Amino acid sequence: MNLTIKPTGSLGGTVEAPPSKSYTHRAIIVSSLADGTSIIKNPLLSADTLASIDACRMLGADIDVNDVLTVRGISGKLKAPRRIIDVQNSGTSIRIMTAIVSLCDDRVELTGDESIQKRPMKPLLDALEELGVKTTSRNGNPPVSVHGPMNGGKCSISGDVSSQFISGLLIACPLASKDIEIEIIGELKSRPYVELTLDTLKDFNVEIRHENFRRFYLKGNQRYKARTYRVEGDYSSASFILCAAALTDSAVTIKNLSINSKQGDMKIIKILRDMGAKIEMGSDQMSIQGNGNLSGIDIDLSQTPDLLPIVSVIGALAKDKTIISGVEHARYKECDRIHAMTTQLRKMNAVIKERRDGMEIEGVERLKGARVHGWHDHRVVMALAVAGLRADGNVSVDTAESVPVSFPTFVEVMKKLGAEISIS
């Protein structure tokens, strides 16, 4: 599918941010493991979160999908599914579920689509091996199989590849029969996602002690307790709306965004303000006055790698130089996002130098219309669509079928704000 965007001078109106994908994943998985019935309000129903629902059903959870999710948990009593767990394109699902199914006293296999089969899993598999789990993989990538049960003891895991490995362990280990200690080796990248996991676990009655996110101490034989849970709005998705408004002559309000959120991608507000955008925040919404006049800055995205695609776009259209650094781990997402954004924005006449851990960008006044490749990556597709608002001529982005992974209503929201955008 192709997304076609015509140049748009201004946007305006009020829209709602979609629910958080990260919180929805965690709420689905933890409530599936819990004692009793949970109600999850305002869930994001996207391709990724539906993959987590399917995986949890295979473990025995009973989940009704409507405007709210009704989840009847398995009380921590996992049974190995008879079929292979296929997470489709969801990296979060395969990494968290790999840790969870290692609690089973049987072999469980997990796989996904072509993109997932390129995603590294070895750090997690090595940590599980230290805890007594037998694992196999294809050179450290999916398909993977694990054969538990997980024992107590100690394990170590690298912190600079994916926080999803650590989140998976933090969710699974409290259900083990013995206590477990996890040591983080090297720098913990994407730490806000680990904080988000701990926040969810606390909401479902599990406590984890840690030493400054370097060492985690998990008591075994804990139980998740069912509850009613509301998913907050997603700053990762809202970043595309905010940046679209900042690049144009716009007045946009976004509702369903908590000012007290623990989401790391809330950093987009500081980035845009530092570049010159005017943003006002309320308790559950924010308004941005855009005029297209942004100035380049130095930006460390080590803790917020999902912002890379859209931040590279605003850097490409800002005055002077923008340097993005600290985000080498963005190369191991749905695609190599540093390379993907560099090559596609160059097709639109952006001036970008690719670095090992980011980019150097010399801003231009306008980009040019072009046909660009979305790399089957929802964030790359949406970022290139936003770039098309400030192009001379139409921009066509392929692989737009990936957008529902995180923001199913992206096209409708952009149309409501006045963008000339269509999908075919």
Residues with active-site annotation? 306
Find tokens 């206590």 and name the residue. 179
What backbone phi and psi angles, to 5 degrees, belong to 280? -110, 135
What backbone phi and psi angles, to 5 degrees, belong to 260? -100, 20
Of 104, 222, 197, 124, which Cα lies nearest the Cα of 165? 124
Q: What span, in angstroms and rounded, lies between the C-alpha atoms of 122 and 250?
A: 46
- Quote helix, strand, coil % in the chain, to nearest 5: 35, 25, 35
The DSSP symbol for 263 reads -
Find tokens 């749905």 and name the residue. 334
What backbone phi and psi angles, to 5 degrees, belong to 143? -65, 150
The amino acid present at 260, given as its one-letter code, is N
Q: String of b and e for 99-120 (b: at least 16 CB within 10 Å)?
A: bbbbbbeeebbbbbeebbeebb
